[in-house]
Structure 1
């Protein structure tokens, strides 16, 4: 089995790291080091020079996006799940993502849609889109050698026209400060689900107004709060770690009667 250049999680009892296997190099931390050439398979457990066991395995999506290097702030996994539900996505959906960012959401959308759906991702920054493409390629390379096929669109939102897309879009998901700019040059007249991820209340008020003006209905605002629990024999208690407000989700739908 060829394991060189594979993406892995390296976990100890105290820490968790994201790394790429490079057979001619060592992995070095304050908990000791080991040679990647000592790995014969993944998953594996190796002992560091300090005598600490390192568990080495393929990362989950959640581990990858929380441990990866990033540029713009990511949408957290707890919010990604709710976004998928609110936008009513399935594997053949046609989706427009507004704001490629670091690619955390783009990665999950592409994983869901890559076989029979379609994903367009618009961003005014080529740097963001290169980063998002690299994020997707790096994670999926662990599972497949297929080329990533996201339709990245480099354009300012206020200049974008949805009519130029070859597919009829089922859902629009936004992660930009001013998603209402979409309506400067666009008018929705087909069935569509909309979800915006926004950090502030003033933005919620503005997008709420824009959605109402464009005849969207069932507008909802929510936030996702996540709390882990510990089970220790017969004692069950919440952890001290609470992932509370990361952003608001504004969802709505347009129905053409």
Structure 2
């Protein structure tokens, strides 16, 4: 979204108060935002430019800005714990993910990493994200569409097991946020191209050791 354009209904907005505290909301014509220093109606934000100084009902200063992707991932309501920006950046670098690539992601969760991958591959790339749980996929779909103003054409969300989608996706990169990613290694090795990368996000050393020996 162009920051030179005013806010519109349906898009996310990040409000900053005079102490730098941030509040994420989705703008609705009839909406209200209430906090400890009063209230502001969404209608006062809709049509305003980012950076405009607004006032709450108790005359407290509020500044609306469009959230960066990092802000949105950290502040969005979620079901599953997302891959946080500091880790998402490392994944992009170490998996060498760039424009035009096809990335197969497993473990969509709340969609935080999916959004980062969509930005990285761009409109000429493709992100196929597989999630086992329908409730998590539903949350991710809503969050992704809210941030981008609709589902990006390069993103495809699927329900199921990643092993059932590796061959059909023809991925350049595979990114796994799963508790037991080693089950996917044989198929990944068979279907990644020479020089393709399998990247797994794991919290413990024993998991890393098991994956390394798979």
Fold shared per TM-score above 0.5: yes
Q: Write the distance in 2 (CA, Å) between the matches of 1:26 and 1:59.
A: 18
Q: Please say if residues 137 and 148 of structure 1, whose CA atoms lie closer than 8 Å, have aligned partners that are also in contact.
A: no
Structure 1 residues 140 and 208: alpha-carbon distance in aligned structure 2, compared to 1, 3 A threshold: same
Residue 55 of structure 1 aligns with which residue? 63
Alpha-carbon distance change, 113 to 179 in structure 1, aligned in 2, over 3 angstroms: same
Mark the CA change 1:76 to 1:161 in structure 2 (over 3 Å): closer, same or farther. closer
Mapped to 1, the partners of 2:91 and 2:189 lie a distance apart of 23
Q: 1:194 aligns with which of 182, 195, 198?
A: 198
Q: Does the C-alpha gap of structure 1 residues 183 and 130 become closer, same or farther in structure 2, counting only changes over 3 Å? A: same
Corresponding position of 1:160 = 164
Maintained 8 Å contact 1:160/1:185: no
Matches within 5 A, 1:106-145: 106-141=114-149
How far 1:110 moved relative to its partner? 1.2
Map of 1:8 onto structure 2: 13
| Alpha carbons 2:188, 2:198 under 8 Å: kept | no
Cα drift, residue 25 of structure 1: 2.9
Q: CA RMSD of the aligned region, Å?
A: 2.0
Gaps of at least 5 residues in structure 1 are 211-257
C-alpha distance in 2 between matches for 1:83 and 1:186: 17
Aligned match of 2:49? 42
- How far does the alpha carbon of each residue in 1:121-150 deviate from its partner, in whole angstroms, 9 at most, with x for none? 112112222222211111001xxx565442
In the alignment, is the contact (CA less than 8 A) between 1:107 and 1:135 conserved in 2?
no
How far residue 107 of structure 1 moved from its aligned partner, in angstroms, is 0.7
More strand by share: 1
Shift in CA distance, 64/150, structure 1 to aligned 2, threshold 3 Å: same
- Which residue of 1 is the match for residue 102 of structure 2? 94
Q: How far is the alpha carbon of 1:77 from its aligned partner?
A: 0.4
Q: Structure 1: how far apart are the matches of 2:204 and 2:175? A: 17
Query: Higher helix proportion, which one?
Result: 2
TM (norm. structure 2) is 0.87
- Unaligned 5+ segments in structure 2 are 1-5
